[in-house]
Amino acid sequence: MPPMPASKEKTSISVFGLGYVGCVCCGCFAELGSRVIGFDTNTTKLDLINSGKATILEDKVDALIGKHVATGSLAATSDAQHAVWNTEVSILCVGTPSTEKGHLDLECIFDAAAMVGEALRQKDDFHTVAIRSTVLPGTNRKVTEIIEERSGKKSGVGFGVVSNPEFLREATAVDDFMHPAHIIIGDGCEQARQSLKAIYAGIDAPIREVSTEAAEILKYVNNAFHALKISFTNEVGRICKETGIDAREVMSLVVADKILNISPYYMKPGFAYGGSCLPKDLKALKTISHDNYVTTPIIDSIRYSNVSHIISGFRLVTGFKKKNVGIIGLSFKPGTDDLRNSPTVELVEKLSGKGYWINIFDRDVEFSALAGKNKEYIDSVLPHLSVMLNERLNDVVDQSEVIVVTKNEDGLSDLVSRHPEKVIVDLVGLAGIADHPNYHGICW
Ligand SMILES: NC(=O)c1ccc[n+]([C@@H]2O[C@H](COP(=O)([O-])OP(=O)(O)OC[C@H]3O[C@@H](n4cnc5c(N)ncnc54)[C@H](O)[C@@H]3O)[C@@H](O)[C@H]2O)c1
């Protein structure tokens, strides 16, 4: 195990909620050198902490709680005001369970915010509040409003609220806390961000200052991704078992590829996938599972997800109610003239089917050079492609009311900046055109 970071005296912290996350925070922040006061509405948890015991069964936490209660750097209180008045930062780690109907119950976090707000009414010094619980986007704003209302102070002046999600896993919580992939600090005022950075000094991990909403949604996205990975891997496992293949060997090869598989590749929000390989090979894997009576809902639904994305692109373009649409880039990716299963071809097909007038520029696609399966494909889905293709980027921009960008082109940003009245729909996330007044990204 890597060594614990060295400790030194620093910012005092109150931890609201002494469950899994709060108890680990108490032990770890004390270990990092802060003086910590724990607060919980459950008095049994307060008694446990004050007798030097963890409130949870978790490796290494008991030892940290015992050590720091003994030295006096950690104590628990039933008095929320005392906790706030005697610390510079309050970290909210209260529960955010699901209601019976499946909604998130944020009552505890709003109650904790109210308690902090009440206490701040009679505190002169600036106070930082960090939301460590997993909460829906928009919660930071609501917590800020509650504290403003209860304290009579202005956010950014008397106090600041930052979003600081926790990513620890039970059973390895202390190691996860001390050696995180990164520390996320979602917005808040400068003073609040600085005091939060100070309490993490000693942890060797990048601090990422991001928007509040990105910090709030991140934990949900991470956990959905983890659940997806587990379920996808188990679907592969079931297919492999039925076909006499060792899934452990297959998945160890999948994760060994750090270039295309375990990497940022294919993980940039943008337009739908396409081309001659992904759709075909996905179909083949689906067929193998079907033929072997293996149920694989995730693998089966990937294509539906992709089709929904093409439809959302179509709705974005048609939402402007302008009939002349220019398309920059038609093949499924830059540097190829392969039009087979290009999502842009599907988009063009839908638009022209609805009577839109389409003008296409793609420097990789020369109509007379299309041949073989590529030509057969395009003749079947876009028989009038030759009249839509235009060799000059300028002409396409000039003649279109809506310009849909699927590939970067030299000079494109200058060209569109001369036409502020045109609508720009960016399907790939290009640099240099986002400041256009009528710019719309597909996922941003
Ligand atoms: N358990 C995990 O592994 C984990 C990991 C990362 C994030 N989270 C998130 O962290 C949050 C806390 O999770 P947990 O597992 O520690 O929950 P938990 O249920 O173990 O603990 C929550 C604690 O909050 C206390 N509480 C409720 N209202 C309070 C109030 N107004 N003031 C003070 N204390 C109050 C409860 O008495 C309880 O002790 C949740 O949002 C959870 O989703 C949990």
What does the pLDDT profile of the chain (444 residues) look like in tens digits?
A: 344 444 445 799 999 999 999 999 999 999 999 999 999 999 999 999 999 999 999 999 999 999 999 999 999 999 999 999 999 999 999 999 998 888 899 999 999 999 999 999 999 999 999 999 999 999 999 999 999 999 999 999 999 999 999 999 999 999 999 999 999 999 989 999 999 999 999 999 999 999 999 999 999 999 999 999 999 999 999 999 999 999 999 999 999 999 999 999 999 999 999 988 999 999 999 999 999 999 999 999 999 999 999 999 999 999 999 999 999 999 999 999 999 989 999 999 999 999 999 999 999 999 999 999 999 999 999 999 999 999 999 999 999 999 999 998 888 888 889 999 999 999 999 888 888 999 999 999
276 belongs to a structural domain: no
CA distance 160 to 130: 8
CA distance 284 to 365: 28
Q: Who's near 251: CB < 8 A, 6+ residues apart?
A: 233, 236, 237
133 lines ligand 1 (CB under 6 A): yes
- Tell me the torsion sign for CA atoms 275, 264, 259, 177: negative
CA distance 346 to 224: 29
39 lines ligand 1 (CB under 6 A): yes
209 in Cβ contact with 32 (< 8 Å): no
Closest CA to 14 of 44, 43, 46: 46
Q: Please tell me whether residues 196 and 221 are part of one structural domain.
A: no
Cα dihedral: 266, 231, 213, 413 (round 10): 10
Residue where a domain terminates, one of 166, 195, 210: 210
Q: Please tell me whether residues 81 and 150 are part of one structural domain.
A: yes
16 lines ligand 1 (CB under 6 A): yes
Q: Who's near 352: CB < 8 A, 6+ residues apart?
A: 358, 382, 384, 388
Number of domains observed in the structure of the chain: 3
Q: Please tell me whether residues 43 and 118 are part of one structural domain.
A: yes
Q: Please tell me whether residues 145 and 237 are part of one structural domain.
A: no
288 belongs to a structural domain: no
CA distance 336 to 362: 10
CB count within 10 Å of CB 166 equals 21
Q: Please tell me whether residues 204 and 234 are part of one structural domain.
A: no
Q: How much is the pTM?
A: 0.92
Nearest atom in ligand 1 to 42's CA = 37
208 in Cβ contact with 34 (< 8 Å): no
23 is catalytic: no
326 in Cβ contact with 412 (< 8 Å): no
Q: Please tell me whether residues 203 and 227 are part of one structural domain.
A: no
Residue 17 Cα to ligand 1 midpoint, Å, equals 6
CA distance 384 to 153: 65
275 lines ligand 1 (CB under 6 A): no
Q: Under DSSP, is residue 252 helix (H, G, I), strand (E, B) or coil?
A: helix
Q: Given ligand 1 and candidates 14, 21, 82, which is best to mutate, with the most ligand atoms within 8 Å of its CB?
A: 21
Q: Please tell me whether residues 72 and 221 are part of one structural domain.
A: no
Q: What does the block give as tokens for 215?
A: 């910090």
Q: Please tell me whether residues 223 and 163 are part of one structural domain.
A: no
156 lines ligand 1 (CB under 6 A): no
Residue 197 Cα to ligand 1 midpoint, Å, equals 22
What pLDDT was estimated at residue 9? 54
Residue 107 Cα to ligand 1 midpoint, Å, equals 12
Residue 50 Cα to ligand 1 midpoint, Å, equals 19
Q: What does the block give as tokens for 291?
A: 């033929």
Q: Please tell me whether residues 220 and 109 are part of one structural domain.
A: no
168 lines ligand 1 (CB under 6 A): yes
40 belongs to a structural domain: yes
Task: Indicate which residue of 23, 93, 240, 277 is catalytic.
Answer: 277
Residue 159's DSSP bridge partners are 127, 155
162 belongs to a structural domain: yes
20 lines ligand 1 (CB under 6 A): yes
Residue 221 Cα to ligand 1 midpoint, Å, equals 19
Determine the structural domain holding residue 227 and report its residue range: 214-267
Q: Given ligand 1 and candidates 40, 176, 226, which is best to mutate, with the most ligand atoms within 8 Å of its CB?
A: 40
296 belongs to a structural domain: no
Q: Please tell me whether residues 237 and 327 are part of one structural domain.
A: no
Q: Please tell me whether residues 179 and 226 are part of one structural domain.
A: no
Q: Who's near 140: CB < 8 A, 6+ residues apart?
A: 131, 161, 162, 163, 186, 187, 212, 215, 216
323 in Cβ contact with 357 (< 8 Å): yes
Residue 96 Cα to ligand 1 midpoint, Å, equals 7
287 belongs to a structural domain: no
Which residue is closest in CA terms to ligand 1's atom 19?
Answer: 95
CA distance 363 to 379: 19
290 belongs to a structural domain: no
117 in Cβ contact with 150 (< 8 Å): yes
299 belongs to a structural domain: no
Q: Please tell me whether residues 320 and 340 are part of one structural domain.
A: yes
Closest CA to 202 of 346, 28, 78: 28
- For residue 316, the domain's CATH number is 3.40.50.720
